Amino acid sequence: TLVLNVSDTDNITVVTYGGSAPFFEERGGDLYVNETIDLDGNEKTIHLVIELTDDYAPQFKKTFSKTIPELTAINTTIVTIGLEDIEDKDCQSTVDFSRVRLGLENTAGNTFRLQGSNTIKVSRLLDFENGDTYFALNVSVRSTQLNDTKVNYALLAVTVTDIDDNDPIFNSSVYSLNVTEEDNSSVLVWRETQPPIDAYDQDIQVNDPLKFSLLNPNDEAVLKINETRKFNETIQVQLQRTFDRETEPSKSVVLKDTYIVAIAEHAAKGSSVVMVTATDADEGENAEFNYTLLVHQDVFDIETLVVGHDRVGVITVKDSAALDRENRSQLQITVGTQELTTPEGGDCSTGHCNATINVTLTDINDKDPVFPNNSYSLIVIRNVVNTVIGTINATDADEGDNARVTYNMIPYGSTVCDFLEINSTTGDVILTEMMKQSDVCTALVEACDNPSDTSQSRRCTRVPIRVSLPPDVIVNTTTYQADIAENLPKDTIVLQLESYDKAFVMTSSNFFKLENGLVLTRQPLDREEHDKHSLFIVTNNMVNVNDNYPEFLNTSTKEVSLDNSTSVGQVIATVTATDRDEGENAELTYSLQPSAFSEYFGVDNTSGQISLRQFPYTDLASLDLVVTAADGGTPRLSTIHTIKIFIGPGNGSVRLEAPAPENVLKADKETIRSELSKILGVTVKLEGITQVTPSRSFVYISGKNATTDESLTKDKLQELVDKHLAEIDALFERYRQDENGVFSPALIALIVLSAVLLIALIIAIFFLSRKNKK
């Protein structure tokens, strides 16, 4: 029997009556009686409920993008998403944040975070040279009406631009120029040194022209140098006067007994330390000698070079890792000389003359702040506003500003910590408002150092904290009543407890005691003195509190490399965590973040083994995969661990960086391959070209020995690339374009400068010609 026709077919919910099958059912929007109803002449009311349903997911009206410079300050707002950016077809009026909730599905290894309801901020310093060039973030919007299964996503593309935060690097530590004495033709003529003077800027996207100058202005009376270079040319020098060899030998002819130098700790292999000079009073072959290191041969190298009439010793770094200021801040090098012919007499009759170099290592920001504990649990004993409830400090093994630590508190998990703040200088955790018994805060305290040199990356460490009120105390009490006659002897049994625990204690009493569940008298009792006694026996059972966070056994960032030889299902990494609690509070499960990576990687939630599900073909050179270890307690505590996954084409390839888009490079890839082969002296194969940003790409190469056709190992090929970086950079420089595919402003400036110099040169030639005619 048709009972009722309802126009909105999706909004019918049938409610069962009395726990039995429903009397009614909905069929295609019509309401039918489901069975014969016999109420014996009586009436009963059956309620049918029509409920609101959430038919449409909210969605964004657009995608979002933002360009920021590297080293942007922490807590800088990246984007604020407004209600005007969201629409929901279920809503008759404007969407508000009581109907929808925003989320940040992947934070790029905690690089970004969602603060408040709609503001996305940066959480750490970004370093362009270390690969922080582009981030693709997924922003979600969920309905909050009935459940959170209605969800849509939008892309937030964050592009990081390079700033000028690195020093230029010379292509050599020593340059020489040989001239003939009393030769006027060599004066005021621009000439190249050996090797030619050149330098390049370590900043990839910054193209400001380099300016060269002599370190000592007094040397300009002898030598001048180009302040700037023309496009694709090296720097030249110009002698200002002639020289007399007999009266003016090389300026570096004095043998110093002691040198005092300072270099940065962990200076790169091949970095120049100091140049030492010794002279020999003999002539010809008898004046030839080499320099040797008598100590620290494992840390430094010395090379003997002939510069004009002099022999100099150039000391360079051999082992960068050994130059650790925190372990050893000073070193003393002893340099000796070994003559090539047998000496006969003289001050150095042994053939050795020594000099001492005292090397001081200056600090670089290479140490992370260190907390003494892996996690902290703070119990609020004094629940009063502005009370310091604990202090969390970290130390840094660097010195100066590199060791000056400041603190910041970052929300973590689902709890809210609005009632807390941290003193950025002292690390004091302060209560800003009174806590309720239900309040539990889990957060991350971040300690960061503050290098004064902005070219050095800021280093930060995070540690989880948990803040709560003291756990409740459960007090079990049972009432007993007993009668006893007066004047009975001590140790008379008054009563026996029905249940007894060794944790039971009796409150203070001079007349009674508790032993093994029996209440006994301590002395005879006098009714006239005390006719009634009240005794309290209590047991205190402390509630088991989940107050320890899971701890990963290896807290440093794990690095994993993938290429096209990695097979699906292969275990690429294993993480292990422990929990100092017991029972369910110590049962750990593992999961991966962000969820967008779940199609590529999987984790065994009990063993922590991470396996490859599908090769992540992506434009990114690396991915930050976050592993979460969570316990089974209440509240559930978790800790995160980051695995950095580097992605390459495989085949033992080496990655190069080129300041040009992918299509430009691919259009001329045969020329690039040929030029790289000439530079490296091997047969180069281009394995792939991947665009990273609109104006920057990665070029992957492999190589073979040109003679034997034997494939080079990745390490050998990388060594060749490192030796020829300046030439490789010059090769790719010709392909540099801005994002519109035209000449960049820096290149246009160089062309204009060249044109101006050419016009000036033509005018100068014209006037010189007229003067000669006169």
Phi, psi of 672 (to 5 degrees): -60, -45
pLDDT in tens, 573-593: 999 999 988 888 889 999 988
Same domain? For 291 and 226 the reply is no
Q: Is residue 527 part of a domain?
A: no
Same domain? For 69 and 122 the reply is yes
pLDDT band for position 48 (50/70/90)?
Answer: low
Query: What is the pairing mode between strands 355-362 and 258-264?
Result: parallel
Question: Comparing 288 with 19, which gets the higher pLDDT?
Answer: 288
- The full 3-state SS of 244-274, as one line of letters, equals CCCCCCCCCCCCCCEEEEEEECCCCCCCEEE
pLDDT band for position 232 (50/70/90)?
Answer: low
Q: Is residue 496 part of a domain?
A: no
Same domain? For 628 and 699 the reply is no
680: CB partners within 8 A, 6+ apart: 703, 717, 720, 721, 724
Same domain? For 203 and 286 the reply is no
Mean pLDDT of 500-526: 80
Last residue of a domain, one of 614, 629, 647: 647
Q: Is residue 771 part of a domain?
A: no
Same domain? For 403 and 419 the reply is yes
Contact 312, 276 (CB under 8 A): yes
What CATH number corresponds to the domain at position 75?
2.60.40.60
Same domain? For 290 and 331 the reply is yes
In which residue are the tokens 């990665």 written? 698
Q: What's the one-letter identity of residue 152? A: N
- Can you tell me the distance from the alpha carbon of 691 to that of 484, in angstroms, rounded to the nearest whole number? 95
Please give the pLDDT value at position 473. 41
Q: How far is CA 658 from CA 362, 522, 661, 716, in A?
A: 33, 93, 8, 21
pLDDT in tens, 116-147: 888 999 988 888 878 888 898 888 888 876 66
pLDDT in tens, 539-572: 655 555 677 889 988 766 577 777 766 788 899 8
- Judged against a pLDDT cut of 70, whether residue 472 lies above it is answered with no
659: CB partners within 8 A, 6+ apart: 204, 205, 695, 696, 732, 733, 735, 736
Same domain? For 257 and 357 the reply is yes
Same domain? For 46 and 71 the reply is no
Polymer length of the chain? 774
Please give the pLDDT value at position 9. 42
Same domain? For 332 and 398 the reply is no
Same domain? For 637 and 667 the reply is no
**HSE of 107 in the Cβ direction (CA atoms, 13 Å)?**
20
pTM: 0.33
pLDDT band for position 516 (50/70/90)?
Answer: confident
Most distant CA pair in the chain, distance: 147
H-helix or E-strand spanning residue 771? helix 745-773
Least confident of 110-124, 275-289, 644-658, 733-747: 733-747
Please give the pLDDT value at position 672. 93
Same domain? For 28 and 89 the reply is no
Please give the pLDDT value at position 174. 79
Please give the pLDDT value at position 254. 32
Least confident of 286-295, 407-416, 711-720: 407-416
pLDDT band for position 476 (50/70/90)?
Answer: very low
**Structural domains counted in the chain:** 7
Last residue of a domain, one of 441, 456, 471: 456
Same domain? For 693 and 629 the reply is no
pLDDT band for position 29 (50/70/90)?
Answer: low
Q: Is residue 71 part of a domain?
A: yes
- Could you tell me the residue range of the domain that residue 715 belongs to? 654-733
